A and B are shown apart, each in its own frame.
Chain A
Amino acid sequence: MDEGPPMFAPLGWLKGPGAKRIYRTVAASALFDPTWYRHTHMATADLLRDPLWHYLDRGWKKGCNPSPFFDGSHYALANRDVRNSGLNPLFHYLEYGQEERRSPLASVLQTFRLLVPDAQRLRVFISPRVGDPRLTVVVDSATAGRKDTSLLALLHSVMALAKKDDRVVRIISFLPSHSDLTVVMMEAATSASIMSDRVECVPAHRTDIGPTFGIHEDEIFLSTSWTSARSLAHVAPESRVWCHAPEAVSGSQEAIVSQTHSLCQTWAVVAEAESFRGGQPTPSTTAWGVSHRRVGKIHVGVYANATVHPMAYVAALQFLEEAVFRNPDLLEKLEVTVFGDGVKPLAIAEELTPHIHTPRATQHTLELDVVLLAVSDDPFGALCASHGITMLDTVVHATEGARTAAGPETLVQALADAEISRRGGQ
């Protein structure tokens, strides 16, 4: 008999009614990520405990989520019967809610923030300036992972910019090693002939409640990656937030360009493969073996490989969410199916939970009206073209040959065309 995964739970706890069944059901689910859970919720003293036991025994009652793909608080809040039952929300979802198409998350955005904590907004407040004006630069793991420049070269150009404008430099760092960064910072300051008392490095810990940073009205902000650009996007008008642009790779020196929303999106696509630091996604266990095609619906297929292109997968669902925000009638009309590996049932606009179907096949593609491609290969491209199926690509950020870049606007247009075409066909 299969005894399931190893357990370190006290024997007394397992005598509870249905305890073994709950344990095995949750353990077998891809929505419980032991590595992520241990890293996120378990204190040092608890590290030797079984994370699943920790979650089932106390974690869920304290509001701990089992993975970025399931929000227990949202699930309980949105479902009164779950609250009244007192059941573990993830167990309820796996046993009943999934089949009933209940939403495991408030939104794709919520998952995005959990997956990429560096991209969350910096907590800031306006404070009066004392002394010289300041230049603040944010560095994070995506900065360190850039292939077009080194951290030293990047900080050197930051120092040069600050010296030209006679500003002091503050580095806000999401990097794990503060001392390593300090060494690089001092080296960059020395090479740019900046005194050590005019540079400082401040750690920004990755926790739900991060530190709060004072900012000045006349401060200039510099982002060094797409994640840091997103984290800074809200702090000041666009004219005072600048990016070290990856486009400068082909040029002779680093370019500094004013930040725009589209640039931030571009960086998201360019950097997504290297920047994803979540737990290793595992193949979803939720396979749907039947066709979900329903008459009168607009059928959208998302082709994803969340193991290789996790952010493209999230981006595809974000575009769908934005399309629904712009036209809520779509909630009734859309039928979304996700095909691929490592994908999870993320909710779109609180309500729409896609079907998960793996792997994809020719007959599935032929049933679709619009395909959102979140993988780099498109073996079904010719098939789509020959059958008039719109194919939008979230991996490319500009139209390249036969691949059309996905975006909220192109998707809204494709869905509108699909609806007209569907009406015409009826």
Chain B
Amino acid sequence: MSSHPLWNHSVAHRLAMLRPGTHRVAYLAPKPDYGTFRYRGFNPTQALRDHSTTVSASYFFYSDLQIIDNLAEWADTLVVVRAPYDERLDAVYRQFHNVGKRVFFDIDDLVFDRRFITLVASSLENELQEGELNQWSAFINNTGFALGLADEVITTNTYLAARISEVVDLPVHVVPNTFNASQHHASEAVRHVKKPETSGLRVGYFSGSHSHSLDFDGVADALRLYLEGSPQSTLTIVGHLDVPETLQSVSSRITRLPFMDFLDMQGVLAKVDLNIVPLQSSPFTFCKSELKYFEAALVHTPTLASRTPVFESAITEGVTGFLADSGTWLERLQKIDALGSDARSTVAASAKAHALDTYSPTQLAHALELLFGEQK
């Protein structure tokens, strides 16, 4: 699923978003998608459009290069959003470099580092066959090569920044993921949804892709034990996930919902008492951003997340959310249940204040103004 009314502007409209008199930044992604492009390409352009007078930005896809002869004539800086090196990217790099304009490479994952090829592949549920593995390796190598040809790098957290610095000798900037204005509006529209007063917890798990199956498997036993011990509690699973066999005994209290639009998802998030974000402990999952935390916080739902460096930095234990180490998930779920709805609501309120303060479009525009303002 890639097309969305939010990012279907015509090429003419998107070129006009690069306003004369400002520092004009063109974000280029191979194609639109709900994940990386939304957070790293679309959200920045919207934030700068709404909150900056000195920097303007717009987003483009490879298909636009059929229409735009030379992107460097329209923009002062290029940001390439996680793309492997190929002929099209090479041509755009040249357009900017030939006239002395800088190219940034935005990367939100470890898929640039060949040291992690087998690790990233093994984090997927199914073992890759030789052909697939070769394709995967080529993708990672080409992405790393494209990163190395850029002038500067933008990434989502300090852990990734450190990995990037080990591979290339380029300036690396950390710009966290944020929510966008539409998500905020959608969240405000559902904020009055009352969570019914029942005992037990309505736990929600929101899966972005099949790559999270192993993450979920790690807490499946704890969830089963918790649900068996708390007959009023339920589990809602949204998105791509093969529910493990171990949860068969409590299947009557599990609700499955299909992968849904990210704006609709805020409505489902608002109805659960606790959003869980289990992650395996590996360099791959350490790169995952805190987006699941702040998106739940927007609709007044607290999060229980695995203690990765990113979540440990984002969540203040017991104040803005909850953290669990592997092996402590059952205990944490029981304790959060025992806290009661008022205490959970207090945590949710703190999380929301933190999210609005830290992961807002205003903050993003400010960070990008600082970053691109230096380019003048």
Contacts and interface: CB of A to CB of B under 8 A. Distances in A.
A106 B15 CA distance: 16
Nearest to B149: A126
B129 interface: no
A328 B16 contact: yes
Given A109-B69, A237-B99, A121 B91 contact: yes
Q: Chain A: interface residue count, which band?
A: 20 to 34
Interface in A313-363: 324-328, 331, 349-351
A106 B67 contact: yes
A326 B69 CA distance: 14
B12 interface: yes
B228 interface: no
A125 B94 contact: no
B90 interface: yes
A109 B71 CA distance: 13
B252 interface: no
Contacts of A327: 16
Contacts, number: 58
Contact of A324 (B12, B70, B87): B12
Contacts of A125: 90
Interface in B72-102: 74, 87, 90-91, 94-95, 97-100
A238 B98 contact: yes
Interface in B1-53: 10-13, 15-16
Contact of B67 (A110, A233, A237, A331): A110
Given A109-B69, A123-B87, A349-B10, A235 B15 contact: no
A234 interface: yes
Contacts of B91: 121, 234
B16 A237 contact: no
Which one of B10, B67, B74, B95 has the greatest number of beta carbons of chain A within 10 Å?
A: B67
B12 A325 contact: yes
Contact of B11 (A212, A235, A236, A350): A350
A349 B16 CA distance: 12
Interface of B: 10-13, 15-16, 66-70, 74, 87, 90-91, 94-95, 97-100
Q: For the complex of A and B, list the 9 residue pairs with the smallest distance between their C-beta atoms, beginning with the closest.
A: A328-B12, A107-B67, A325-B15, A328-B13, A349-B12, A328-B16, A237-B98, A234-B94, A324-B12
Given A236-B94, A349-B12, 11 more contacts: A125-B90, A234-B70, A235-B94, A237-B98, A325-B15, A326-B15, A328-B16, A331-B10, A349-B10, A349-B11, A351-B12
